[in-house]
């Protein structure tokens, strides 16, 4: 089916005005004037397209194209919030591609068997409140509602206060959870945020799954001493131990599989002075894989090495797992449907994993999920340089439209 490539790209360009930063990026947090203006603009476009527009109890926005049957609906969409000084494509590309697909159907007189809903979910990035995938946590009924008065932004504004300030009753936030069977599928288009599509010269690809993450914190303790006075063989210096651990983190992920990712993104020595052997060094671990067992095996290998190196060097180590998210396999039927949709538009079907977490990880708790990635220039995202060409947006939107058409049949 035909989509209006100019329109989806014009809308994408139009949204860049809401929350623009001095170096051309965007800062658009949940329930801020910039995010509300972007959301209201999209709501206006949904109404213009003739969709039934509504917001749920926490401000998730929906535009519905009715089907011949009342339900269950096919849900598609993404988010309009951003990270600090992020890019203009992460999130908005998925909301606007979904709107374009559905608007084009309506203009061409296509009435799907099942309704199709375009969703824009609040607070996906977790940049303002320390709770990512906020909107879909409410939607899927997994948000801990007794925490609504406690989870606050850096200024101490709680989620409850932010809701109240925007006309929502936090006491009714749980009503955003949808009944089982409301949706028959969820499909999200998103920028790739990596360079696999670019390396293969492809505008868009089919996501095979969303990696599960396990984050841990480690501390290795030794003895602070004078960097000049203490001889090398009398030291209990945690820093070389940390260096060994970091190399093992890289080795473990490389040896396990191409889908395993392991990162040490934070290292802090204390007291942290050039002329003092550190008393302790703290470091972070972020391990991800599409295969949860393989991911956990990677974490255990790192933990074993961490303990061994601490012991061998006469140091004490603490290793603590802090956060785990489950890996999601994209639904086999939706993936197959995407292969058919790709064939219909002469796009080479290429499957790739998502290393980043997306709303689909939450939505998979209530219905089958699929994702489409569009090419990110230089693989960059979460920065002002984030870019996807108008041609790639158009190709991804076509793939989404063909997929939705088939899923809503």
CB 59 within 8 A of CB 160: no
* C-beta closer to Zn ion: residue 67 or 86: 86
* C-beta closer to Zn ion: residue 124 or 291: 124
Residue 89 CA to residue 84 CA, distance in Å, equals 14
* Sign, CA torsion 281/309/263/323: negative
Q: What is the dihedral of CA 74, 80, 85, 87, to 10 degrees?
A: 50
User: Which 8-state DSSP code applies to residue 375?
Assistant: P
Residue 272 CA to residue 85 CA, distance in Å, equals 29
* C-beta closer to Zn ion: residue 126 or 240: 126
CB 245 within 8 A of CB 374: no
Only one of the segments 46-54, 83-91, 267-275, 376-384 lies at the binding site for Zn ion (rule: CB under 5 A); that segment is 83-91
Only one of the segments 11-19, 85-93, 156-164, 392-400 lies at the binding site for Zn ion (rule: CB under 5 A); that segment is 85-93
Q: Does 392 bind Zn ion (CB under 5 A)?
A: no
- Give the nearest distance from C-beta 186 to Zn ion in angstroms: 14
* C-beta closer to Zn ion: residue 11 or 88: 88
* C-beta closer to Zn ion: residue 90 or 237: 90
Structure tokens at 48: 């213009």
Distances (CA, A) of 346 to 204, 260, 285, 343, 407: 12, 31, 41, 5, 19
- Give the nearest distance from C-beta 19 to Zn ion in angstroms: 15
Which residue matches tokens 């790192």? Answer: 302
- Give the nearest distance from C-beta 193 to Zn ion in angstroms: 8
User: In terms of Cα–Cα distance, which of 166, 75, 84, 57 is closest to 120?
Assistant: 75
- Give the nearest distance from C-beta 200 to Zn ion in angstroms: 22
Only one of the segments 87-95, 165-173, 202-210, 224-232 lies at the binding site for Zn ion (rule: CB under 5 A); that segment is 87-95
CB 377 within 8 A of CB 387: yes
Q: Does 188 bind Zn ion (CB under 5 A)?
A: no
Question: Among all residues, whose Cβ is closest to Zn ion?
Answer: 90
- Give the nearest distance from C-beta 106 to Zn ion in angstroms: 26
CB 67 within 8 A of CB 73: yes
CB 363 within 8 A of CB 328: no
Structure tokens at 105: 């159907």
Q: Does 192 bind Zn ion (CB under 5 A)?
A: no
- Give the nearest distance from C-beta 79 to Zn ion in angstroms: 6
Q: Does 77 bind Zn ion (CB under 5 A)?
A: no
Strand partners, 55: 61
* C-beta closer to Zn ion: residue 91 or 278: 91
Q: Does 209 bind Zn ion (CB under 5 A)?
A: no
* C-beta closer to Zn ion: residue 90 or 402: 90
Structure tokens at 46: 């949904």
- Give the nearest distance from C-beta 230 to Zn ion in angstroms: 49
Query: According to CB under 5 A, which one of 63, 91, 278, 353 is a site residue for Zn ion?
Result: 91
Which residue matches tokens 């089916």? Answer: 1
Q: Does 90 bind Zn ion (CB under 5 A)?
A: yes
Q: Does 35 bind Zn ion (CB under 5 A)?
A: no
Beta strands in 161-203, from DSSP E residues, in sequence order: 183-191
Contacts of 31 (CB under 8 A, 6+ apart): 59, 122, 123, 128, 162, 163, 165, 166
> Which x/- pattern, by CB under 5 A, does the window 143-182 give for Zn ion?
----------------------------------------
Binding site for Zn ion (CB under 5 A): 90-91
């Amino acid at each position: 089916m035909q989509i209006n490539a100019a329109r989806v790209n014009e809308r994408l360009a139009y949204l860049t005005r809401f929350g623009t930063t001095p170096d051309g990026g965007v800062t658009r947090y949940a329930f801020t004037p910039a995010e509300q203006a972007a959301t209201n603009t999209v709501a206006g476009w949904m109404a213009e397209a003739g969709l039934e527009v509504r917001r749920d109890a926490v401000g998730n926005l929906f535009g519905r194209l009715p089907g011949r049957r009342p339900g269950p609906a096919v849900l598609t969409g993404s988010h309009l919030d951003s990270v600090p000084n992020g890019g203009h494509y992460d999130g908005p590309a998925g909301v606007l591609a979904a709107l374009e697909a559905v608007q084009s159907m309506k203009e061409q007189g296509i009435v799907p068997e099942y309704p199709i809903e375009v969703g824009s979910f609040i607070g996906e990035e977790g940049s303002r409140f320390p709770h990512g995938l906020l909107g879909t946590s409410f939607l899927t009924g997994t948000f801990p509602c007794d925490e609504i008065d406690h989870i606050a932004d850096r200024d101490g504004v709680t989620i409850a206060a932010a809701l109240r300030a925007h006309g929502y009753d936090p006491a009714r936030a749980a009503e955003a959870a949808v009944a089982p069977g409301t949706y028959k599928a969820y499909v999200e288009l998103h920028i790739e945020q990596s360079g696999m599509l670019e390396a293969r010269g492809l505008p868009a690809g089919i996501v095979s799954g969303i990696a599960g993450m396990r984050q841990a914190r480690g501390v290795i303790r030794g003895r602070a001493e004078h960097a000049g006075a203490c001889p090398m063989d009398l030291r209990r210096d945690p820093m070389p131990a940390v260096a060994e651990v970091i190399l093992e983190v890289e080795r473990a992920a490389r040896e396990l599989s191409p889908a395993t990712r392991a990162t040490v993104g934070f290292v802090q020595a204390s007291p942290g002075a050039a002329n003092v052997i550190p008393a302790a060094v703290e470091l972070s671990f972020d391990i991800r894989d599409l295969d949860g067992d393989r991911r956990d095996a990677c974490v255990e290998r790192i933990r074993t090495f961490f303990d061994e190196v601490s012991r061998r060097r006469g140091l004490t180590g603490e290793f603590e797992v802090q956060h785990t998210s489950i890996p999601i396999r994209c639904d086999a039927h939706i993936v197959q449907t995407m292969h058919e949709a790709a064939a219909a538009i002469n796009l080479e079907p290429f499957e790739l994993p998502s290393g980043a977490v997306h709303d689909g990880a939450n939505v998979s708790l209530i219905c089958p999920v699929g994702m489409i990635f569009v090419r990110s220039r230089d693989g960059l995202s979460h920065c002002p340089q984030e870019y996807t060409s108008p041609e790639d947006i158009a190709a991804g939107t076509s793939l989404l439209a063909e997929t939705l058409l088939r899923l809503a049949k």
